[in-house]
Amino acid sequence: MRKTEVLYQIQALKATKRDAANVSCATELIRTTGYVNIIDMLLLPLYYAWELFGFGKLEDVCFETYLSRTYKLFCHSKSSYIQEMVSLLRRASVKGGLAQNCKQMVDSLIAIYTSIIMKL
């Protein structure tokens, strides 16, 4: 896994979150997963990967302070959480109805999350 891949996904998810009012990947993910906070949920493993692989500090990727408590809880059950996210993303991908750019993001997240699991 490369630093640029993780950074790109963090930035893409944050951009998607800002654009949630439009028909975007965030809206599609909310619709297919049923989670309104899906973008925050997907960011947690990426933040963990950022630290795990020694890419830098969370401040380097503008970590949202409101996620601090949630991130600490995530770190206590990271393996099961990431496996659940992979499963959730696979189900969303199989359901269909995702735009091509959203499907590419989902596939990329699955690959990154799988790499994290292998490292744990």
Cα–Cα distance, 2 to 37 (Å, whole number): 26
User: Which residue ranges make up each domain of the chain?
Assistant: 3-119
Indicate if the alpha-carbon torsion angle 20, 4, 118, 47 is positive or negative.
negative
Over the stretch 76-94, which tens digit does the pLDDT of each residue have? 999 999 999 999 999 998 8
Q: What is the mean predicted confidence (pLDDT) over 53-58? A: 96
29 CB burial (10 A radius; 0-12, 13-18, 19+): buried
Length of the chain: 120
Is residue 7 over pLDDT 80? yes
| Integer CA distances (angstroms), 107 to 2, 35, 62, 114, in order | 16, 18, 24, 11
